[in-house]
Every structure is written in C-alpha cells, then in structure tokens.
Amino acid sequence: MKVFCLGLLSLIATTVCFAQGLTNNGDTISVKAGSILFISGNLENINKTGLYPYIKNNGNLYVTGDVKATPNTTYTGLDSFYLYGSGNQIFPSFNFNNLILQNGGYKTLTGGGNSTIYNNLNIISGVLKTGNDSIILNGSATLTESATGYLRGNVKSIKTLPLGTAVTFGHGVVITRNGSNNPGNVIITRVSDKTLIGSPVLRRNLNTSYKNAEAKYVITPSSNGHLDANITFKYHDSLLNGCVESALNTFRKYQGGSIFWYTGKTAQNTTLNTITDQHFDSFTQCILGGSVNILPVELLNFNARLLSYNSALLSWETASEFNNDFFQLERSEDAINWQSITRLKGKNSTNQLSYYDFIDDKLALIKSDKVYYRLKQVDFNGAYEYSMIRVLNLVRKDSKSIVSFYNSNEKKIFINVNSENVDFNIKSIALYSMDGKQLYQKQNIDHDLKQFKIDCLLFSQSLYSLIVETTDGTYSQKIPIIGIE
C-alpha cells in the first residue's frame, strides 16, 4: 500500500520503511540525524493548494524507485541520499550534500536543471546519466567513481590555480600552473556521453584521423592566453568507446577551429586511468582519442558471487563471438596487481548465446578483506579487452561467520555457514518485517547443511530483519528485498 504524507513526518534515531512508496502531499518530511528512512518504491512530491513539498534530510534517505518532484519542491540535507534500486531510477535536480548510487541500473537526472553536490557524489555501482543537464561539484566537493559505477554526461568543477601547486578538481582532473600569468577561476566540464560529444574530428595531420573516447574536457578560465600549465586527465574504462587504452593521446581544439589536433602525452597510468600532457599555453577544449580496437565478442554480463570463505563463482555470457580465442580470468587483492587464475577456450565464431563459469576455490590464500576479478577476452590476432571489475567482500575460515545476501535474480535470501568448525552450526532462522511481524521461521536444522535459502516471491519490496541463531551466538542483518513485482 502506498503511504501519503499529509502532515509533518519527523524521524528521530530510528529506521522506518515504507514498502510501496511514499507520497509527500505538499507537506514536510524531516529525517533527523542518525535516522534512516527506507522507501521501497517511489518517492513522489506533489503540490497542495498553497503548500509545497519540503524534504529536510539530516539522516540517511534510501529510495529504490523513482524520485519525482514538482518545481516547487524544496530539498535540503546534511547527510546522505541513496538511490538504492536494482533497476533504473529517475531523480530531480535537487542539491545534495552526499548522493550515493548503489545496486546498478541507470540513474537519470530529470527536471530540466542542474544538480549541485556539496560534499561527495559516490557512484558505487550503476551509471548516472545527466542528459543535457549537469552535476555541479561545489567548492571542495568530489566525484567518486568505481570499477562498476560511473557518470555519463556533464560534471563541472571550478578551482583557482596557485602558482606551482597541483590542483585537483572535483572530477579528478589535475592542473599545475607553471607560468606567472594567472587564469583566475577555471571551470572544467567533463563530458562523457556520445550524444553530447557528437562526432568530433581528431587529426594528427591531414592524412591521419583517430577515434575519440567518451572523454571530452571543456576548460574555461576567467583569463586565457600566455599560460604554461600541465594537465592530467582522468577517464573511465567503460568510456573508451573502442579505443585501445595504451594508445590514448590528448587532442586539443585551437581557438576558431573545429578540428581536435594531436598533442600527444607525456605520461599515462592505465591503473589509475590518467593521462598527462604538458605546456598548455592556453585553455581550450580537449578530448582523448586513439586507434580503434575492434573485438570479436559481445559480452552480455560478468558476475561474481561468494559461495563460502574459500570459494567464489565467476560467470559470464556472450551474445555472439567471432574469432574468439580465449577468456582469461584475473584476480587481484588491490585492483592494481593482477594474476591469471584460469583460461577458458572461446567458441571461435558463433551467433548463439554462450555461458561460461569458473569456481575460484583459493580465496583462503587472499590476505586482504576484499578480492577483485576481471575478465580478459583475447581474439586470434592477439587483440584483447578487459571487462568491468567485480569485487567481493571476504569472510575468514576461523571467523565462525554467517554470510547472508538477497539474490534478485532468484528472488531468494541465501544464508551460508562460513566455518570449518564442526561445532559451529545454525540452530534457527527467522525473518521479520520492520514493524516486528515474523514472516518466516525455520528450526531444528540439520547440522550438516552449510547453505540455506528463503524463497521471497511472496514478500513485498521492503527492508527486512534476518535473525540467525547459532551455537556461537545470534547474528542479525538488515536485508533489502528488491525486484519483486
């Protein structure tokens, strides 16, 4: 049932979940510091005669559906707003202190205006799409992207450039001013979308052209000319647009021209995804580009799932393959240093759906608390491309731990016993709604079983409390169930 807010809704040091969404009918929602408001569904803000919706978020506000607002809606907040749905979501041009994107899907800015970030925009997973609008990183605000999450569109940051100081802009571009001429306030807009970039012409000479990555930078100073500056550009692997990463270079558009001309690079770090060029005598539009890598495989997905303290399942699917030699699965403890753990033969050429999987049963050797995976696809000519990185949080053999998670594909909660200790077993399992109603209970569990499943098809989208009683104590975890129609 959808909930309508017809007066002041104020939360103080508590967790409240609305299972089918929340409609703010011209009134005030106030989330106090330390509180959590979890909305499993849409958050709709509607004008009421003489009244306009107001959201004051000083706690943590989670929304799994769309966020809709009239132009008169006011949003303020000192803490965090989470776009938490597993599918696509839209959200309006609010001004956020912290905006956090999780659980994949496309999160699209709507409402015909820019959105300002005052502290941090953290894209843990999924893609933020701005369209023709922009994300404004105010002051010292930063954009944090991950291997599985990035921004596609416009993001702006403004800084001044003290002489001889490396200044990092909010989206990761770094400029060091070496010359005495001061450009004043410098605005850098990173544009990372094919539609917004268009079809630029990249040339090294009249007879050589290149393909652009989805990485364009519009640099606008208060005063231009007679400069001397070094610039380090930051890009994302998912926006290479078919370019060979190691062959990337910078291209500049000179005043009055329409062509981006090759200027090369003085350094590149393919681990940090940065490329540096020196001695900019003026600020202008720049773009990254290079030669094109045409690969023979259409990869549909690449997934990683923790099975136990010592094993993980890696799986992927391809829609088609042409001259595909093999897949190499790589593992890392820090997402920097990688090692090959297996090689699976490709299907050569096929238009049929193909499925691959591999169980990594050496996780007990990992010293860090996380493990990273990536897939390297190699064709018969030696050309290759990496997938997006997947990360898993590990548990230890001697930790006597319970690992539980909700699988939205199977619509089940998985509960794994991660211990080799024969005396560590589960005695009972219970699942409760946030209002304390018991929805599931299992007792007298066979001690030899190490994995349990709870079918969630009859549950609604919401936040639930899982209680697992073991011979070593009681474990509890809040689990959001999403993707249920």
Instruction: Convert the pLDDT of each residue in 45-55 to its tens digit.
Output: 888 767 788 88
**Are 387 and 406 in a shared domain?**
no
Question: Do the Cβ atoms of 456 and 411 come closer than 8 Å?
Answer: yes
Distance CA 100, CA 124 (A): 7
**Beta strands 354-360 and 259-264, pairing class:** unpaired
CA distance linking residue 372 with residue 175, whole number of Å = 31
Q: Judge if 335 and 384 occupy the same domain.
A: yes
Confidence bin at 6 (pLDDT 50/70/90):
very low
The answer to whether residues 224 and 207 touch, using CB atoms and an 8 Å cutoff, is no
In this structure, is residue 237 part of a structural domain? no
Helix (H, G, I), strand (E, B) or coil at 364: helix
459 and 410 within one domain: yes
Per-residue confidence at 323, pLDDT binned at 50, 70, 90?
Answer: confident
Say if residue 380 is in the same domain as residue 416: no
Taking CA atoms, 34 is separated from 30, 44, 120, in Å, by 12, 23, 19
Higher-pLDDT residue of 378, 401: 378
Place of tokens 């089940």: 412
Q: How many helices (H) and strands (E) does the chain have?
A: 1, 44
Q: Tell whether 115 is covered by a domain.
A: no
Average pLDDT of the residues in 8-22? 59
Percent over 90 (pLDDT), the chain? 38
Separation CA 237–CA 230 (nearest Å)? 23
In a domain, 253, yes or no: no
Least confident of 167-176, 362-371, 399-408: 399-408
In this structure, what CATH number is given to the domain that contains residue 476? 2.60.40.3080
CB neighbour class for 446 (10 Å; exposed up to 12, middle 13-18, buried from 19)? exposed
Q: 393, 416, 433: which is the final residue of a domain?
A: 393
Q: Would the pLDDT of 8 be above 60?
A: no
Instruction: Decide if 409 is inside a domain.
Output: yes
Q: Are residues 376 and 461 in the same domain?
A: no
Is residue 222 a contact partner of residue 185, using CB atoms and an 8 Å limit? yes
pLDDT(317) > 60: yes
At 15, which amino acid appears? T
What radius of gyration, in Å, describes the C-alpha atoms of the chain? 25
Cα separation, 251 vs 204, in Å, equals 9
**What is the distance between the alpha carbons of residues 483 and 17, in angstroms, rounded to a whole number?**
16
Q: Do 302 and 374 sit in the same domain of this protein? A: yes
Q: Which parts of 128-270 fold into alpha helices (H)?
A: 194-197
Q: From the CB of residue 472, how many other CB atoms can be counted at a distance below 10 Å?
A: 16
Q: Is residue 473 part of a domain?
A: yes
The span from the CA of 228 to the CA of 71, in Å, is: 44
Give the residue from 393, 418, 436 where a domain finishes. Answer: 393
What does the pLDDT look like over 237-281, one tens digit per residue? 989 888 888 889 999 987 667 889 888 899 999 999 999 998 888
* Dist CA 117 CA 96 (whole Å): 5
d(CA 282, CA 271): 29
Most confident of 303-307, 436-440, 472-476: 436-440
10 Å Cβ neighbour count for 11?
19
- Identify the CATH number of the domain in which residue 374 sits: 2.60.40.10
376 and 408 inside one domain = no
Closest CA to 74 of 39, 27, 114: 27
| Residue 304 placed within a domain | yes
Counting beta carbons within 10 angstroms of the beta carbon of residue 463, is it exposed (0 to 12), middle (13 to 18) or buried (19 or more)? buried
The per-residue pLDDT for range 110-157, each reduced to its tens digit, is: 867 899 999 999 999 999 999 999 999 999 999 999 988 999 999 999
Task: Check whether residue 321 and residue 364 sit in a common domain.
Answer: yes
Residue 401: pLDDT band with limits 50, 70, 90: low
Do 379 and 403 reside in the same domain of the chain?
Answer: no
Average pLDDT rounded to a whole number, residues 53-59: 87
Number of domains in the chain: 2
Residue 213 lies in a domain: no
Q: What is the DSSP string of 396-410?
A: -GGG-EEEEEEETTT
Residue range 16-36: mean pLDDT, rounded: 78
Clarify whether residues 363 and 405 are in a common domain.
no
Q: Which of 366, 393, 420 is the last residue of a domain?
A: 393
Assigned domain for 388 exists:
yes
Q: Are 176 and 167 in contact (CB under 8 A)?
A: yes
| CA distances, 32 to each of 40, 76, 91, 97, 205 (Å) | 19, 12, 22, 15, 60
Question: Which domain, by its residues, includes 471?
Answer: 399-481
Do 306 and 387 lie in a common domain?
yes
* Whether residues 409 and 336 fall in one domain: no
Question: Among residues 306, 275, 303, which one has the least CA distance to residue 288?
Answer: 275
Nearest to 221 by CA among 277, 169, 296: 169
